[in-house]
Chains A and B, each alone.
Chain A
Amino acid sequence: MTARNKDSLRSKLSRLLDQVEKPARYTGGELFSDLSSNTADELLDVALVYPDIYDIGGSNQALVILYDICLRTAGVHVERAYLPWIDMIALMRHNDLPLCTLENTRPLASFDLIGITLPHELAATNILELIDLAGIALSGSERGEDDPLIIGGGPTAFNPEPFADVFDALCIGDGEELFAEVLGVLLQLKQAGRSRAEKLEALAALEGVSICAFRPDAPCELPPQRVRKRVLSDFAHYPAVTRPIVPFIETAQDRLCVEILRGCARGCRFCAAGMLYRPVRERSAQAVVRAVTDGLAATGLNEASLISLSSTDHSQIAPIIRRLNRRYDTTDIKISLPSQRLDAFGSTMAQVACGTQRKGSLTFAPEAGSQRLRNVINKNIDTDDIIQAITTACAAGWRHYKLYFMVGLPTETDTDIIQIVELANLVYDTAVSAVPPGERGQIRVALSCAVFVPKAHTPFQWCGQLGLAEVQRRLRLLRHSGLHKSIKLQWQDPEISQIEAVISRGDRTIGPLIRRAWELGARFDAWSEQFSMTAWRTAAADLGLSLDELAGREYALDATLPWDFVDSGLDKGFLAEEYQRSLTGQVTNDCTRGACVSCGVCAQLDTNVSLAASRSDTSISTGGSSTQIGLDLKPVDCVERATCV
């Protein structure tokens, strides 16, 4: 690419900016982005891509971490790209302009390696859209020597089959060490002038890399390969990123994010993240406080969020918050906790949460209405706990609540649905009676329901999703079961959840389905106003498939599952036993607070739970309730996590 070409590409793209909504999505130039061109000693060009618009992906932690690794790796030049919004895509296609990176407006096709994170199943068509917009062949088998290698990673990569055709390789598990190894291998082989096939073969030798063309049923001379998840060996001492790129425009996480712990061992049986990010590993209080203070000083952001799957579970959360509060007490800087559990919810936590977001709402995720069903999913709380939690939150100043439930969980009956309504009404009544009479009008309770999506590598991986007609019937029942008229009821589009289910447990036949749906116009499937069920239905019909059957497919416990070749460390026997225990409502404990539950991860992956202190004797309850309440509590801007924590 000559300098002249680049300039003309840049000026052509910038001419479109006056015609699109939020042009600053496309202009980059943010603090801490690497604006240098690649230099002579930077041999490997890497583009990191998020498969949605900048507003969503600009603060994505996977990209933050991987970008930082690239910057620290000698010989690597890194840039970023995001999928443009539909208005910009239309203009780019009309003007025949390819998808380019933010830093130097370089076409993606000119890079050696394109890394795409797979945040969730519904990004599938966006991935095709961005590869096509980049002018690169959609199928790995059609890519030539001069094309970039396209490598994916992230939670959705744990079931690689639906993505086998698109990606050249997928990285399974923690990316920190694995991605650095991938860079090292590619640097070396590029220097040696090796071929694409040789590069893939070398990557296949790395633990945690699944080479799509080499897979069990792929026509390939190499033996079928089992892929083992990578675990960052020393998370506690791995440096947190304190100089992340600071976006100019507001992004999903418009704050400094410091990951205080990784993994969650609560063992909710529907939750893929809880199963896949094991074992639980914590950063020390000292490391967390330092990461927050360094990061805030470097970025100038006015909020730091202590992120994880379950932040109040950190064994040193109380001293961390005490120290940070003392440090930022008289400033305009806020510390927030995105996901808290109410079993750890004392007045300290209430104040922390309040200090940042009292005008927002608290999100509770009881997930199921009845005690029986909460036991089935291993989310053990009772109504007394909920009353106590609401009372504490009300006393601390919270007035708005959101409740998250799932419909269609295994073993669910109409009684369970009716009990969702009863629980929501109870929350409303409790809140109203817990505040002074004059403030009762301020109480808002919103009830949000999503359809249960069975996920690979969870105890419910053998279960089918409820069919659409039955989902609709249960939602009608929910609507007509006497919900208090002040409670706002909303639900996620069940059709979108069905597509999520089709992909999450899909096999290799799902790749062509995604491709066909994309050809028929499906993209931005996670955006309800963009989602087109017609495209997906037509695609399924074209291929002779049934969405209801694919989503509802049940596997026998002894069946070979499409993702069995991915070793998540979880013992399949453990998952099967968890499933059977769920059917009889037996709960399983959290191994960070009790005995090992033999999930298999530590033994299989030669790793260990690593806590900064003991969790049992560092209760953070401060004179208030110390009962175990299995509810999640989080500020409203993090609700996307609510259903999976």
Chain B
Amino acid sequence: MSEFRLRINFQKLGACRYLSHLDLARAMERCVRRAALPYAVSQGFSAHMKHSFSAALPVGTGSLDEYMDVELARYVPRTAVLLALREAAAPGLPVLDAVYVDHKQPALAVSHIQASYEVLLYDPAGVQTTALMQRLERAVDVEVVKKGKPKSYKLDEYVYRNRTRLLKTDSAGLTHLALVLRLTPNGSLRPEVLLKALALPDLDMEIREVTRVSLTIDDSNDVSNNTSTSVAGSKGHRNIDGSGGRSNAARRKGRDNCCRSNDSKKDSI
């Protein structure tokens, strides 16, 4: 039976950032059912929708760029699919786009992914942030306790250091930090885990909010060598939906109107 893989691009906004990955998956499944798409159902005794998701977000982390793959049993024109999904979307989980992708494309879960985050730190004096930025630049590895066992992470394998940016300090005294991390099928570092580990033992960082801003597939297999300043179109990178580049600014715009222009690649951070 031939199936059509639909890649849905959606967001996890506002209070929805407190949903667990399981809650999110169930909510998106329901969205697909409400949209009445002809989704494929697994064979076997306990039938379920055939789908997969991009790397799980922790409870508390929002996202402007999430993906869900759903297998459709028959082809429905993309415009009709998109219209139905947008209408069916739950508040807080708007659907931005939906495209058909080739089955030869790597599955969402097994790809190396470049994930950009925006982290909001409460640091009115700015002193802590400066120190933290220095550590982000210089540290060789961090030790993180996972399930009671200390585990060491080499920063060069997990952090695109030269893409770390201080974006701004807003009127509420929150420092906005851009952080780009590499998610691999074998492991990854969460931004808040990384920052808390770097802050030890003397910095007192209060992380107010973490948002995943974008996800791109990274086949370059090389974090340290990556000097690209733009996600869009850079060598070895492509957007998960295969459509070419799209910037974070366009995505933020997407947060407001739940849609985006096709020539968004002109925008830059």
Residues of A within 8 A of B (CB): 14, 17-18, 23-24, 27-31, 35, 246, 248-250, 296-302, 330-333, 358-359
Contacts and interface: CB of A to CB of B under 8 A. Distances in A.
Question: In the complex, which of the residues A249, A333, A358 has the most CB atoms of chain B within 10 Å of its own CB atom?
Answer: A249
A248 B23 contact: yes
A24 B33 contact: no
Contacts of B14: 29
Contacts of A24: 15, 18-20, 23, 59
Contacts of A248: 16, 19, 23, 26-27, 90
Interface string B34-51: 101000011001111100
A300 B31 contact: yes
A331 B41 contact: yes
A332 B92 contact: no
A246 B15 contact: no
B116 to A, nearest CB: 22
27 contacts: A17-B18, A17-B60, A23-B60, A24-B19, A24-B23, A24-B59, A27-B18, A29-B15, A29-B16, A29-B91, A29-B92, A30-B90, A31-B30, A246-B30, A246-B90, A248-B16, A248-B23, A248-B26, A248-B90, A250-B26, A297-B36, A299-B30, A300-B29, A300-B31, A300-B88, A301-B30, A301-B33
A626 B127 CA distance: 80
Given A297-B34, A301-B33, A302-B33, 18 more contacts: A14-B15, A17-B60, A23-B18, A23-B60, A24-B15, A24-B18, A24-B19, A30-B90, A30-B91, A35-B91, A248-B23, A250-B23, A296-B33, A298-B34, A300-B32, A302-B29, A331-B41, A332-B47
Question: In the complex, which of the residues A27, A249, A331, A332 has the most CB atoms of chain B within 10 Å of its own CB atom?
Answer: A332
A27 B15 contact: yes
B18 A31 contact: no
A302 B27 CA distance: 11
A18 B17 CA distance: 11
A629 to B, nearest CB: 27
Closest 5 CB pairs of A and B: A300-B30, A27-B15, A300-B33, A300-B34, A23-B18
Nearest to B30: A300
Contacts of B34: 297-300
A37 to B, nearest CB: 15
A607 to B, nearest CB: 38
A359 B27 CA distance: 24
Interface string B7-24: 000000011101110010
A8 to B, nearest CB: 12
B86 to A, nearest CB: 14
B34 to A, nearest CB: 4
Contacts of A23: 18, 59-60
Contact of A18 (B20, B60, B91): B60
A331 B18 contact: no
Nearest to B14: A29
Contacts of A302: 29-30, 33
Contacts of B45: 358
A31 B87 CA distance: 12
Contacts of A30: 90-91
A28 B15 CA distance: 8
Contact of B41 (A17, A35, A332, A358): A332
Given A17-B60, A297-B36, A332 B19 contact: no
A498 B170 CA distance: 58
B66 to A, nearest CB: 15
A332 B49 contact: yes
Nearest to A31: B90
A39 to B, nearest CB: 18
B162 to A, nearest CB: 30
A332 B48 contact: yes
DSSP class of A's interface residues: helix, strand, loop or mixed?
loop
A330 B41 contact: yes
A299 B30 CA distance: 7
Contacts of A249: 19-20, 23
Contacts of A358: 45
A333 B33 CA distance: 10
Question: In the complex, which of the residues A27, A29, A331, A359 has the most CB atoms of chain B within 10 Å of its own CB atom?
Answer: A29
Nearest to B49: A332
B63 to A, nearest CB: 15
Contacts of A296: 33
A250 B14 CA distance: 19
Contacts of A298: 34
Contacts of A359: 46
A27 B90 CA distance: 14
A271 B91 CA distance: 42
Contacts of B41: 330-332
Contacts of A250: 23, 26
Nearest to B13: A29
B123 to A, nearest CB: 16
A331 B39 CA distance: 9
Nearest to A333: B33
B15 to A, nearest CB: 4
A296 B29 CA distance: 13
A30 B30 CA distance: 12
Contacts of B48: 332
Nearest to B41: A332
Contacts of B60: 17-18, 23
A504 to B, nearest CB: 36
Nearest to B33: A300
A302 B88 CA distance: 15
Question: In the complex, which of the residues A18, A23, A248, A358 has the most CB atoms of chain B within 10 Å of its own CB atom?
Answer: A248
Question: In the complex, which of the residues B18, B20, B41 has the most CB atoms of chain A within 10 Å of its own CB atom?
Answer: B18
Contacts of B20: 24, 249
Nearest to A328: B47
A28 B90 CA distance: 12
A29 B91 CA distance: 7
Contacts of B59: 23-24
A300 B31 CA distance: 6
A246 B18 CA distance: 16
B23 A331 contact: no
Interface string B136-168: 000000000000000000000000000000000
Contacts of B26: 248, 250
Nearest to B207: A18
A53 to B, nearest CB: 15
A248 B20 CA distance: 9
Interface in B46-71: 46-49, 59-60
Contacts of A246: 30, 90
B189 to A, nearest CB: 19
A246 B42 CA distance: 24
A168 to B, nearest CB: 32
A23 B45 CA distance: 34
Contacts of B27: 248
A331 B30 CA distance: 13
A30 B23 CA distance: 12
A300 B27 CA distance: 9
Nearest to B34: A300
A526 B7 CA distance: 45
Nearest to A17: B18
B255 to A, nearest CB: 15
Given A300-B32, A302-B29, A331 B16 contact: no
Interface string B224-263: 0000000000000000000000000000000000000000
Nearest to A24: B18
A31 B91 contact: yes
A300 B36 CA distance: 9
A248 B90 CA distance: 10
Contacts of B36: 297
A330 B36 CA distance: 14
B76 to A, nearest CB: 17
Nearest to B192: A18
A635 to B, nearest CB: 14
A91 to B, nearest CB: 15
A507 B33 CA distance: 51
A624 B153 CA distance: 64
